[in-house]
Amino acid sequence: MTTKKKAVVLGATGMMGQRFVQLLSSHPWFELSAVAASDKSVGKSYGEATGANGGKELGDTARSLRVVEASPRTVGDPDIVFSALPAEVASQVEEDFATAGFPVFSNASSHRMDNYVPLLNPEVNPEHAGLVEEQKRRMKRDGFIVANPNCTTAILTLSLKPLDQEFGLETVIVSSMQAISGAGYPGVASFDILENVIPFIRNEEAKVESETNKILGTMTSPAAITVSASCHRVPTINGHIEAVFARTRSPITPERAAEKMADFQSIPQRLKLPTAPAHPIIVRKEEDRPQTRLDVDEGGGMTVSVGRIRADPGLKGIKYIALGHNLVRGGAGCSILNAELLVAKKYIQ
């Protein structure tokens, strides 16, 4: 790509927004042109607005940008908009940007389940990208919204895709152990989470159950997999671990599941997109892996590490552990790879 595409980040000062800024600082196709956040940050330099939280890895160019209001009138003329806004704000602001003609890549839950909004996990359902054309027609606008899944769902659906493809999923049970960065900044109070596990994350289980079926379904109708989730906050910084139990329509063995997962590749790998990891899934053979501290950054945070694949007597299927980076595969990295896919497929000129 000769000229880099200009990208703005909405909600740039938050936990996810800072990860967007970091990943964009060395991106071969995209360059950061503006950062937007709430009234609290508007007018400050990005370095000042992120304070002690904004480290060197954000880059000097980004740290000297002025934070602007999150509106189509204030961000210049970007080619791509990345949104890391809270859902209650994203709902209207993302619509405003799409109506003004911008392609919006959203991390918020606001539009994930909307008809004609692709809920895209790029290796899992890349063909859903085509929905943006229908969205533009129906909404009579040049811009569009592409959502990426909730962090837990992004990790789960990537691990499930090769199983669904080969054996057909019938039932999935998942129990998550989710890092505190998943709650944003400042997130969960330290007094609540240190030396503790909180067995409740508001709305998370319903999101995992519905989003998984939208992603693993066709472009127009969700899959009919019975999905049951139990979600828990644990005192790790980054990385969600999930204990997954799956029953399939055709017979499955741990060995064949491991083989299909390890061999799994998809369109982003074939197109050699810059953010696509060489291996979307890595299967660990050690009895005590994956572990959050050791494996969370695998593939630059874009790879899901799977281990302990074994037979499950309960569902008469298999069970395994999956680990992924909530801010990268589960957020900014997934969104950036979605944008690369839409550029490569010429949905963005």
Ligand X SMILES: NC(=O)c1ccc[n+]([C@@H]2O[C@H](COP(=O)([O-])OP(=O)(O)OC[C@H]3O[C@@H](n4cnc5c(N)ncnc54)[C@H](OP(=O)(O)O)[C@@H]3O)[C@@H](O)[C@H]2O)c1
Query: From residue 139 to residue 168, what is the string marking binding to ligand X with x (rule CB under 6 A)?
Result: -----------xx-----------------
128 is catalytic: no
**What is the smallest separation between the CB atom of 2 and ligand X, expressed in angstroms?**
32
54: DSSP letter:
S
**What is the smallest separation between the CB atom of 300 and ligand X, expressed in angstroms?**
16
The first and second tokens of residue 89, run together, are: 């704000």
Among the candidate windows 7-15, 121-129, 139-147, 303-311, which touches ligand X by CB under 6 A? 7-15
Q: Binding of ligand X at residue 65 (CB under 6 A)?
A: no
232 is catalytic: no
- Tell me the β-bridge partners of 32: 7
Give the three-class secondary structure for 279.
Answer: coil
From CA 49, how far away is CA 231, in angstroms rounded?
Answer: 32
Q: Binding of ligand X at residue 37 (CB under 6 A)?
A: yes
Among the candidate windows 15-23, 225-233, 263-271, 293-301, which touches ligand X by CB under 6 A? 15-23
| Catalytic residue (choose from 151, 231, 325, 334) | 151
Q: Interior CA angle at 196 toward 192 and 202, to 5°?
A: 65
**What is the smallest separation between the CB atom of 51 and ligand X, expressed in angstroms?**
10
Q: Binding of ligand X at residue 47 (CB under 6 A)?
A: no
Q: Binding of ligand X at residue 330 (CB under 6 A)?
A: yes
Contacts of residue 152, defined as CB under 8 A and 6 or more positions apart, other chains included, come to 174, 176, 178, 204, 207, 208, 229, 231, 240, 242, 326, 330
Q: What are phi and psi of 307, to 5 degrees?
A: -155, 180
The binder of ligand X chosen from 8, 21, 32, 70 (CB under 6 A):
70
Q: Binding of ligand X at residue 89 (CB under 6 A)?
A: yes
Answer whether 184's CB lies under 8 Å from 14's CB. Answer: yes
Q: Binding of ligand X at residue 40 (CB under 6 A)?
A: yes
Q: What is the rounded (10 degree) CA torsion for 343, 344, 347, 349?
A: 60
Q: Binding of ligand X at residue 331 (CB under 6 A)?
A: yes
Q: Binding of ligand X at residue 184 (CB under 6 A)?
A: yes
From CA 273, how far away is CA 287, in angstroms rounded?
Answer: 33
Q: Binding of ligand X at residue 113 (CB under 6 A)?
A: no
Q: Binding of ligand X at residue 121 (CB under 6 A)?
A: no
From CA 146, how far away is CA 158, in angstroms rounded?
Answer: 18
Among the candidate windows 57-65, 74-82, 180-188, 264-272, which touches ligand X by CB under 6 A? 180-188
The binder of ligand X chosen from 7, 58, 62, 84 (CB under 6 A):
84
Chain residues 271-310 in contact with ligand X, contact rule CB under 6 A: none
Buried b (16+ CB within 10 A) or exposed e, 287-326: eebbbbeebbebbebbbbbbbbbeebeebebbbbbbbbbb
Q: Binding of ligand X at residue 212 (CB under 6 A)?
A: no
State the sign of the Cα–Cα–Cα–Cα dihedral 147, 56, 24, 266. Answer: negative
Q: Binding of ligand X at residue 86 (CB under 6 A)?
A: yes
The first and second tokens of residue 73, run together, are: 């009138």
Which parts of this chain interact with ligand X (CB under 6 A)?
11-17, 37-38, 40-41, 70, 84-87, 89-90, 107-109, 150-151, 181-182, 184-185, 326-327, 330-331
Which residues carry out catalysis? Answer: 151, 240
